[in-house]
Amino acid sequence: MTFDLRAHMPLLTRQEGVWEGVYRYYDADGNKIDEHRSRLVCRVPDSGPHHYHQSNEYTWPDGRQETREFKGSFRDGKLWFDSELIEGWAAEEPLDEHRRTLLLYWVRRGEPDTYLYEMIQVDDACRQRTRVWQWIRGGATRMRTLIDEVKVADDGRSVA
């Protein structure tokens, strides 16, 4: 029997597709320290070892590019990630009666004293979303990331 992530995380799986947007990073004092464009491909595979697969492509104004892959598996009511870059989880927020909110917690490899909480908000049609990362190091704010995205395609599985 195949596991159906859609039955357990409907808000997350409604976000399957291609998202384009902008990441903006701010230091603890509110000064912008980075900005780049993004293209995220979110997939919910029908089979395989992972229940979720996200490919992030980043492009900076100077032409620099970077791609990152994140694969997750569902257990204990959360989608768990464990990659070369991050370790953590994603969960739908049950207190949001509008079903627009996902929460994530993760730690970046190589930065054990830094953790992040991310909140994702989607509009009712799941065509736009905004994301906020709170970076905490040693109990203090290290920086914040603000992300604005628009869904440009509904089918992420057909994208290589």
What domains sit in the chain, N to C, each tagged with a CATH number?
A: 5-153 (2.40.128.20)
Question: Model pTM?
Answer: 0.93
Angle at the Cα of 119 from the Cα atoms of 32 and 155, rounded to 5 degrees = 100
- 10 Å CB burial of residue 95 (0-12, 13-18, 19+) is exposed
Query: If you count them, how many residues does the chain have?
Result: 160
Q: What is the mean pLDDT of residues 139-147?
A: 97
Instruction: Return d(Cα 160, Cα 141) in angstroms, integer.
Output: 37
CA trace torsion 8, 12, 17, 22 (10° rounding): -170
Q: What is the mean pLDDT of the chain?
A: 94
